[in-house]
Amino acid sequence: MEEKIPVDDDHIRAVCTKCPHVQYENPKMVVGCIPIFEDKILLCKRNIEPRKGKWTLPAGYLENKESVQDGAVRETLEETGAHVQIIDPYRLFNIVFVDQIYLMFRAELGDQMFGPTSESCEVRLFTEAQIPWDEIAFEVIRQTLVDFFLDRKQGAYSFKIRDLKAFRPGIL
């Protein structure tokens, strides 16, 4: 492979020196949801790095041949053991400084069948007043939660695209 700008392109790419193959590197898509049960939401405490021991909404990388909705449902099951029903898309975050795009859905938690998994050491329902704000793993999750609780007070949820532009040490 050789680093160069391919014909009819404007970015430096890894190009095979023996064939016309171009290796593209594109942002990673992260999908997740806000599992809602009555007036509470489900959070999980990470049992894996990065940010092991911090709280988050269930989310993770989208797999090939998977819809964004199916990915959010799968990630929720993997991280919390819970089955959710997607309500609607809620937030899309461009996080260009780490080459990620987050798509978060609102989702209904059908029952209280959830618990720790290999990825989460603790899984709990929280009211807004109980959210452990100082223990949230990632800035994108904090922003999603802040937006959600503001929208809930207003009684209206709308899909929005937001950019996270700054990196704060210790939290992404």
CA 78, 79, 84, 87 dihedral sign is negative
Domain coverage including residue 153:
26-163
Considering the domain boundaries, does residue 18 fall inside one?
no
CA distances from 4 to 23, 70, 88, 135 (A): 11, 37, 41, 43
Tell me the H-state helices in 21-131.
68-80
d(CA 115, CA 97): 33
pLDDT, mean of residues 116-139: 98
Residue 133 lies in a domain: yes
| pLDDT, tens digit (0-9, with 9 covering 90-100), for 37-96 | 999 999 999 999 999 999 999 999 999 999 999 999 999 999 999 999 999 999 999 999
Q: Tell me the average pLDDT across 131-137.
A: 98
Q: Measured between alpha carbons, how far apart are the two ends of the chain, in Å? A: 32
What b-and-e string marks burial along 13-24, b requiring 16 or more CB atoms within 10 Å of the CB?
A: eebeeeeeeeee
pTM of the model: 0.90
Give the pLDDT score at 168: 57
Domain annotation covers residue 37 = yes
Position 3 in a domain: no
Is residue 9 in a domain? no
pLDDT at position 79: 98
Give the CATH number, domain containing residue 110: 3.90.79.10
Alpha carbon distance 155, 97 (integer Å): 33
Q: Has residue 150 been placed in a domain?
A: yes
Q: How many domains does the chain fold into?
A: 1
Question: Residue 24: its pLDDT value, please?
Answer: 87
Specify if 21 maps to a domain.
no
| pLDDT at residue 20, rounded to an integer | 85
Chain-wide mean pLDDT for the chain? 94
